[in-house]
């Protein structure tokens, strides 16, 4: 089960329709709809909104670890911490997560440039 399915569980647990849920969380309706249908990965801003406005445990949402809501089972995270990095055990804030995503985008863009260059070389050798 992934984050999209767990977000559906949050929506179901809230008892709200999608429109009211979007308003409560503070995200556009279409954005939440895209997350639910796996059309987009859940952004750091959306994770922060779910954490702040609904009390969602980000560890649970992203990784399925712990309880749905922060503070259940004595596992409350410190204020401002979205989740604990499972590999390092260190807390990750929204700003940390934004920086991680930015770095990933940079690396993906570089990889795409390398692929484009390789295709260009291949095409010139074939002609």
What is the per-residue pLDDT across 24-52, written as a single tens digit (0 to 9) for each?
999 999 999 999 988 778 888 888 889 88
Q: Name the pTM for this structure.
A: 0.58
Show Cβ contacts of residue 3 under 8 Å, excluding neighbours closer than 6 positions. Answer: 35, 41, 42, 61, 62
The domain ranges of the chain are 3-126
Q: Which pLDDT band, with edges at 50, 70 and 90, does 21 fall under?
A: very high
pLDDT digits (tens, 9 = 90+) for 55-100: 888 888 988 888 888 765 545 566 777 776 666 767 788 888 888 8
Average pLDDT, the chain: 84
Please give the Cα distance from 104 to 54 (Å, whole number): 28
Closest by CA to 12, choosing from 44, 48, 42, 54, is 54
């Amino acid at each position: 089960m992934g984050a999209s399915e767990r977000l559906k569980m949050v929506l179901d647990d809230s008892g709200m329709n999608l429109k009211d849920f979007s308003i409560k969380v503070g995200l556009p309706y279409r954005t939440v709809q895209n997350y639910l249908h796996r059309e987009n990965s859940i952004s750091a801003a959306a994770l922060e909104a779910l954490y702040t406005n609904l009390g969602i445990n980000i560890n649970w949402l992203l990784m399925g670890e712990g309880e749905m809501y922060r503070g259940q089972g004595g596992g409350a995270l410190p204020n401002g911490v979205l989740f604990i990095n499972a590999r390092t055990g260190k807390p990750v804030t929204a700003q940390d997560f934004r920086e991680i995503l930015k770095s990933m985008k940079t690396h993906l863009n570089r990889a795409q440039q390398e692929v484009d260059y390789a295709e260009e070389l291949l095409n010139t050798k074939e002609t």
